[in-house]
Amino acid sequence: MKNILEAPFMVEMIRTTTNMYNHGWDERNGGNISLLLDETVVQEYLNTDAVIRTIPTGFKAPELEGKYFIVTGTGKYFKNVQYAPDVNLGVIRITDGGETAELLWGFTDGGKFTSEFPAHMMSHVARLKVDPANRVVMHCHPANLLAMTFVHSLDEREFTRTLWQMCTECIVVFPDGVNVLPWMLCGTNEIGEATAEKMKTARLVVWSLHGIYGAGKDLDETFGLIETAEKAAEIYMKIAHLPRVNTLTDEMMHQLEERFNVKGREGYLD
């Protein structure tokens, strides 16, 4: 077997969690990531017949039967992943129609996957139906997006339009816009179901007064989605109290659609 710590998915997971912590998005044990893995790749690094232990998931997801994920652990600090990945990360296989996770590697201190695991898995189901290339679900607490939910309308069209207007690249990077949930109790199946429903129409879902969920084809793309939205929110928070002399108009954004061969979400531009 190859050394799993040298696996490309492991290297990128460690780099991403470290980068997210350094960005200030994942204070203490805030935030979580799950990455769908190819079975053939996993088998290069692990004996997939050697199950360390089983962990109940508390939900059903038959669509994920037999699928492999690397996921961050509950109560774990992103800043520590680079120093002890085997404690803070786990590789699991979904079984029993989604009700059980078989631990194949990691969580060596007896821990388990993030408390937001239901929201992650339900979001994976939703995104895979929209785009089978979507393999990452990422949750974090970017300060400016969080702050924006305190002072801006939570109407999804208006929230999206404001972000699009802050940076020229925004409509190019997330033309599907941003969906928004009202405050809900985290770590429950209810917020997982609500997030998954929102994931059907956008790769970014803001949890009001809490943080954001992002989905994408790989860790770089998903990180970049959140990073771009957070930059836009930062600009908004800096200028929201000031008179706006200039802005990105709908006509400008239509030009961006044509130039970059993207299409903004239906009905979001005049």
Where exactly are the structural domains of the chain? 1-115, 133-264
> Which residue is associated with the tokens 């990531």?
33
What is the rounded CA–CA span in Å between residue 47 and residue 26? 32
What is the rounded CA–CA span in Å between residue 29 and residue 51? 27
- One fold for 1-115 and 133-264: yes
Q: What are phi and psi of 140, to 5 degrees?
A: -160, 180
Tell me the CB-side half-sphere exposure of residue 141, using CA atoms within 13 A. Answer: 12
- The tokens for 267 are 């009905």
Letter string b/e over residues 56-77, b meaning 16 or more CB atoms within 10 A of that residue's CB: ebebebebbeebbbbbbbbebb
Look at residues 157, 205, 162 and name the one whose alpha carbon lies nearest to residue 180: 205
- pLDDT tens, per residue, the chain with 270 residues: 899 999 999 999 999 999 999 999 999 999 999 999 999 999 999 999 999 999 999 888 999 999 999 999 999 999 999 999 999 999 999 999 999 999 999 999 999 998 888 899 999 999 999 999 999 999 999 999 999 999 999 999 999 999 999 999 999 999 999 999 999 998 888 999 999 999 999 999 999 999 999 999 999 999 999 999 999 999 999 999 999 999 999 999 999 999 999 999 999 999
Fold of 1-115: L-fuculose-1-phosphate Aldolase (3.40.225)
Does domain 133-264 fall under CATH 3.40.225.10? My reply is yes
Catalytic residues: 116
Say if residues 171 and 265 touch (Cβ distance below 8 Å): no
What is the rounded CA–CA span in Å between residue 120 and residue 140? 12
Say if residues 172 and 262 touch (Cβ distance below 8 Å): yes
Look at residues 31, 45, 43 and name the one whose alpha carbon lies nearest to residue 3: 45
Query: Would the pTM of this model clear 0.85, i.e. be above it?
Result: yes
